[in-house]
Structure formats: structure tokens, C-alpha cells
Amino acid sequence: MTTVPAENPAAAPADRDAHVLCRTEGRAGFLTLDRPRAINALTHPMVRALDAALTAWEHDPAITTVVLRGAGERGLCAGGDIRAIHDDARAGGTATAAFWADEYRLNARIARYPKPYVALMDGIVMGGGVGVSAHGSVRVVTEHSRIAMPETGIGFVPDVGGTWLLGRAPGELGTHLALTGAQIGAADALLTGLADHHVPAAALDALAADLTRLPADEALARHATAPAPGVLAEQRAWIDACYAAPTVEEIVDRLLDSGVPAAKETAGTLLAKSPTALKATLAVLRAARALDSLEAVLDLEYRASCAALTSHDLVEGIRAQVVDKDRDPHWKPAALADVTDADVARYLTPPPGGDLGLAG
């Protein structure tokens, strides 16, 4: 991906190590996440740089559209820097909670941004990558898009407003995606409300060029096409029936008893995840459905995230998946039946440092 120096110095991050490239061209401001070797995983300086650029462009009458891209060929953003989270959690530090506080504020700001915010969700878009893209007013996917909230696989709970988005997906599709962490492509992202338009990857540069001179809706109309068929629409019947169960244990039982091979395979997927994270995720997702704003959900997710930060499973999950890569996490508790109501309630309780307070 080619970038040029920022034409508007005030919009560029002051920290040149922030790994966010800012430039303006015509009527558009471009933000490029620039850690391609880490699939543009978010750091705290990157969050601050994004927020600073949005501040500058919000009040710049020359900028009418903001465009978010990812450097490299692998994806927009693989999520937060979970190695840093692992190290901070092991040390009992406070850096991660501070990062989440600013990240969630950024997610809320993106959702309320007064100008079109066009997220080009090409390639891998996971976790925190969903937070900086799927709350935007114009979400564009391609045939390469692989979108997921894979948190339960590392002993964590979907955050960055993920439970707000998934809680509003049709039927129980969002519950399925939140618990399994399954990756979806373009058609399923459109079906679940995580994206608005499909544009072929080869047309993204042309779309970006058109955004420098045309309103976003006119530029999209020139390039949007129908995606290849997805898989969730065909699976909707068994997903809705199984995930409507009141507990994770009963969801697993329904999946095993459904007689559908894909459902039985999904039960095995769930049983490999952190039992505590599964139960906490279901509780947070269902609580999120009852809330009336993204800000209120982000406050709730902050509680869950801070609880996870002091749990065994988050450190162990990241160790197994990312640090040692043995793919053999030892969850505590190891079985769903051993996760108590009190264990789950901890994820819904204000942290020692207090709530985030986005909802006022």
C-alpha cells in the first residue's frame, strides 16, 4: 500500500512511532494502520493517534470523509496487541485497563462521528479491528474479508462494542459468532450487520481515489457489487434453535442432539474454548441486548474485560495460542459445570478502579 506524507500536519500523530499514517487528499482524510508484520494489531499509541486525527478532521471543513485502511496484504487489523496484554496481566499491571479505556472511547467516537467514516475491511478484521471499523457509518468488505470476534479462544470476552453488534444480528447468529469465534466472509458480514457494502479487493484503490472527490454514497455506487454466497443463511435454522437455550451447557446439548453434522462439529468447537469465557460471554451478550446504547454496552464490556484481566484463563489462553503456540490451554475451571454463578457475576461487577462511565 502506497502512502504519502500528511498534507495537513495537524492531522498527523505527533508520535512518529504510533504506526498510524495520516494523509489528506482532496475531500478525504486517510488513516492507515501501519504495523503490517503484526497484521496492524492495535497499540495504545495507535489508539491515541487515531483519536487525534479524528479530532483534527472533525473540525476541518475541507475534510468531508474519513477512510480507514490497513497496511500490507494480510488485513485491516488483527485486534489488540495481545502479547502486550499477556505480559501486563502476568505482571498485575494497569497498562491494559488504560488501553481499553481509551480504545472503547474511540469505538464510541467512531460510531458517533459526524462525517462519513469509511472502513475498508479487507482481509483479517478481528477483535479490536472490528471495533475501529464496524462502528463506522460505511463498512466495506471484500472477497478476502475474514471477520471474527475470537475472544473465547483466549479466555476473554468479546469487547470493543462487539456484543452490541452481535447482540443485534438476526436471530441467534450473533450468539453463535460470539461463543465460537467463527470467522465470516463478506456475505455473512452483510447478513449479520457487520458491514454495509461489498467491493472487490481489486477495486479498493479506485474507490479510495473516488472518495477524494465524491460523496461516499456516490463513490460506493460506482464500485459495490454482490458478494459470493455465505454460509450462515443456510445454517440459520439450527443456529437459532440451539443458541436460544438459556445456558451454555444446554446450547451444547442442543447442538449435539440436533442431528445436524455442522451443529455437532460446533459443539466440539465450543468445548475447546474457555468455559468461564463462554459463560461470561453469554451473560454479557444477553445483558447487552437489554441496553439502549453502544456507550452503555462498552461500559458493561469494560467490567468484563477488567475481570478477565485478573483471571487465569486470559493469560493461559494467550500463552497457548500466541506465546508458546502449543494450542493446548489448560483452563481453570476446566469444565462448564464447574463455572459458578459467582464466577460469571464477577464479569458484570464494576472493577476496583471504577466503571468506565461512557454512558454518563
Active site residue 292: no
Q: Which of 75, 128, 129, 131 is catalytic?
A: 128
Our answer to whether residue 80 is catalytic in this structure is yes
- Of 51, 151, 172, 188, catalytic: 151
Of the candidates 159, 172, 210, 301, the residue annotated as catalytic is: 159
* Active-site position among 29, 70, 79, 80: 80
Instruction: Write the secondary structure of the chain as one string of H (helix), E (strand) and C (coil).
Output: CCCCCCCCHHHCCCCCCCCEEEEEECCEEEEEECCHHHCCCECHHHHHHHHHHHHHHHCCCCCCEEEEEECCCCEEECCECHHHHHHHHHHCCCHHHHHHHHHHHHHHHHHCCCCCEEEEECEEEECHHHHCCCCCCEEEECCCCEEECCHHHHCCCCCCCHHHHHCCCCCCHHHHHHHHCCCECHHHHHHHCCCCEECCHHHHHHHHHHHCCCCHHHHHHHHCCCCCCCCHHHHHHHHHHHHCCCCHHHHHHHHHHCCCHHHHHHHHHHHCCCHHHHHHHHHHHHHHHCCCCHHHHHHHHHHHHHHHHCCHHHHHHHHHHHHCCCCCCCCCCCCHHHCCHHHHHHHHCCCCCCCCCCCC
Active-site amino acid positions: 80, 128, 151, 159
